[in-house]
Structure 1
Amino acid sequence: MQSTDKIDIKQALNEKEGFQIWWRLLRPHTLTASFVPVFVGSMLAFTHDSINILLFIAMLVASMLIQAATNMFNEYYDFVRGLDNENSVGIGGTIVRDGIKPKTILTIAFSFFGVALLLGIYICIASSWWIAVIGLVSMIIGYLYTGGPYPIAYTPFGELFSGFLMGTVIIGISYFIQTQTVTATVIWISIPVAIFIGSIMLSNNIRDLDNDKENGRKTIAILLGRKKAVNFLAILFIAAYGFTAIFIIAGMLPLWSIITFLSVKKAIEVIKNFRGKTQPIEMMPAMVATGKTNTIYGSLLGLSLLISSFI
């Protein structure tokens, strides 16, 4: 029989059975971290040239598969290391609450990597084999993020790695496979996106601060403390919007990109929902809002680039 605590946490998180078990395993609120950079990078390329739709789709699917697989490695290794239990929030809960075998999760994760690898081969054939090197390194880091003897996610560098790889690197690759080049402007424009993606990891670590500290992690949130970490998150948001404003004024982004500031309201909601909260379940709305901030900002940025291409 299920314990009372197990039933309560599932009810509190509104977790359902059936297909929802596997959907939660993907941690869908984090998948925007793979969609946004591919969309932005491709739209940047579209402002200078036509776009190969098949390459765009292949890159998008491959990136989302790698992100989903990374989430699964996280689920697996946190369980193996004893970090997750049936009352943990912010996880798929597929192992600790739904009873799916850990080996099954690991098999699915490697299968996703396999499909992403096949898509990567197609992308390389259509563009450059240098992409294979970058893609392979990204996949290895995706595994080492929570796997291996010294998981990156357990250090103060998790936000930096996730922001740089999922933001700057993917935007650069998405632009390169369409244009066969990468410019300094593309790298600069990737910075706000990288910040928002890194912020998703930071908000996750703020929520999990107490449990992570008990299990020996050394994340930025733990080193700063919850209150200062929330303030740091606010500073990151301000920096991202500040860079965006500078890029618009400098002409690196079109005037249409001013629509990205419509996401400010959601960013403010994140900070408000974190302040004064100490329990992980209380901070879930803030965590979800962080992902939505990235989604709204990135989607509007890509849309502004698309609009400017026709004007």
Structure 2
Amino acid sequence: MECNGELKEDLHLDLSKYSFWRALRPFSFTVALVICLTGITSAAVSTSFDPLSAILVLTGGLLLQAGVNLINDYADRQQLRQESGNAAHLLALNRVEQNFRVGMGCFLLASAIAFYLVSQVGTGLLWLALIGLIGALGYTLEPINYKRRGLGVVLVFWFMGVLMVAGSYFAVSGELTAQVLCQSLPVSLLTALLLLSNELRDYEADQRDGIDTLSVRIGFAPAVTLYIAAVLLTYLSAVLLWANGALQSFWPLLPSLLCLPAPYRLLRVEAVQRKPLTPLTGRLFLVFGLGYCLALAI
């Protein structure tokens, strides 16, 4: 009876970790929403605006985010296969592979949307979409797996930040400007910050499991310094854009300042108390991001 209880507990833990909804991470969809809205809003203010393209861009961005999330655990399959003699690990392996298939389906749907948009605005968007797709697939898949190489925070800044804002702008307007690349910087920094918060939250576990994220490679204290620097650069870049007329107003960003103290307090606490760091950073991202889109539109 005791063994059965341990098996049930082990089974519950594995299936909980690899369940579809947990793998999907719906809370992270705010990233795709804000990033795509930034490009769409910038295009709506500065050039012609196609509402259908805007809807398709948002849909494609959400599908891309879902795909990235669902394939995120695929790298675990090797370890799960080695331990598949355990019923819990075998079921977890099935969940990982099922989530991977659904994730690839999301990528296919996002690709179909991208090809339609390419037909509307030209092949320039095709290259942006291909680079973005390679970046999304390479996050955890071999042989690239830039998460394992400690490049996740840096490349997410480009792939899920600058590139997605530029792609959204291009898909809606049919052109690309230096100004929109500059306007992408604050939200791109926060996108990287969100991933960095995840690394800091899981620092001890990743170090124990041999997952060489950027935070593990450089150390916890330097990663905390990087977190603070990214926050400061986010607001500094927004101020510079406002001063140069690329941001219409600054006041919509002020409410996001109220979201700063809570995650900051968690940067120096023990691992068990650090769990809310990522959700609180996500709240900062959402409040800043929506305010930023409003500041672009006013």
Instruction: Give me the TM-score of the superposition, normalised by structure 2.
Output: 0.87
Confirm or deny that 1:109 pairs with 2:103: yes
Q: In the alignment, which residue of structure 2 is the partner of 1:199?
A: 193
Shift of 1:199: 0.7
Q: How far apart, CA to CA, are the structure 1 residues paired with 2:101 and 2:263?
A: 35
Q: How far apart, CA to CA, are the structure 1 residues paired with 2:91 and 2:247?
A: 46
Alignment of 1:55-74 (within 5 A): 55-74=53-72
Q: 2:252 aligns with which of 242, 255, 259?
A: 259
C-alpha change, 1:200 and 1:133, in structure 2 (3 Å) is same
Identity value in percent = 22
Shift of 1:253: 0.5
Q: 2:74 aligns with which of 64, 72, 76?
A: 76
* Contact 2:20–2:99 (8 Å) recurs in 1: no
Alignment of 1:1-311 (within 5 A): 3=6, 21-81=19-79, 101-255=95-249, 257-279=250-272, 282-306=273-297, 308=298
Aligned AA (1:31): F
* Contact 2:140–2:148 (8 Å) recurs in 1: yes
Q: How far apart, CA to CA, are the structure 1 residues paired with 2:51 and 2:90?
A: 40
Structure 1: gaps spanning 5 or more residues: 86-93
* Contact 2:149–2:213 (8 Å) recurs in 1: yes
C-alpha change, 1:5 and 1:235, in structure 2 (3 Å) is farther
Shift of 1:50: 3.9
Aligned AA (2:282): G
C-alpha change, 1:7 and 1:80, in structure 2 (3 Å) is closer
Q: How far apart, CA to CA, are the structure 2 residues paired with 1:290 and 1:95?
A: 32
Aligned AA (1:278): A
Structure 2: gaps spanning 5 or more residues: none
* Contact 1:260–1:301 (8 Å) recurs in 2: yes
C-alpha change, 1:262 and 1:135, in structure 2 (3 Å) is same
Higher helix proportion (structure 1 or 2): 2
Q: How far apart, CA to CA, are the structure 1 residues paired with 2:151 and 2:230?
A: 15
* Contact 1:95–1:101 (8 Å) recurs in 2: no
* Contact 1:69–1:110 (8 Å) recurs in 2: yes
* Contact 1:78–1:146 (8 Å) recurs in 2: no
Aligned AA (1:183): T
C-alpha change, 1:218 and 1:152, in structure 2 (3 Å) is same
C-alpha change, 1:138 and 1:246, in structure 2 (3 Å) is same
- Alpha-carbon deviations, 1:210-269, whole Å to 9, x = none? 2222333332211332233122201110110111112112211112x3311311221331
CA RMSD of aligned residues (A): 2.7
Instruction: Give me the TM-score of the superposition, normalised by structure 1.
Output: 0.83
Q: How far apart, CA to CA, are the structure 2 residues paired with 1:183 and 1:2?
A: 61
Q: How far apart, CA to CA, are the structure 2 residues paired with 1:157 and 1:265?
A: 30
Shift of 1:115: 0.7
Shift of 1:172: 0.8
* Contact 1:95–1:102 (8 Å) recurs in 2: no
Q: How far apart, CA to CA, are the structure 1 residues paired with 2:164 and 2:142?
A: 23
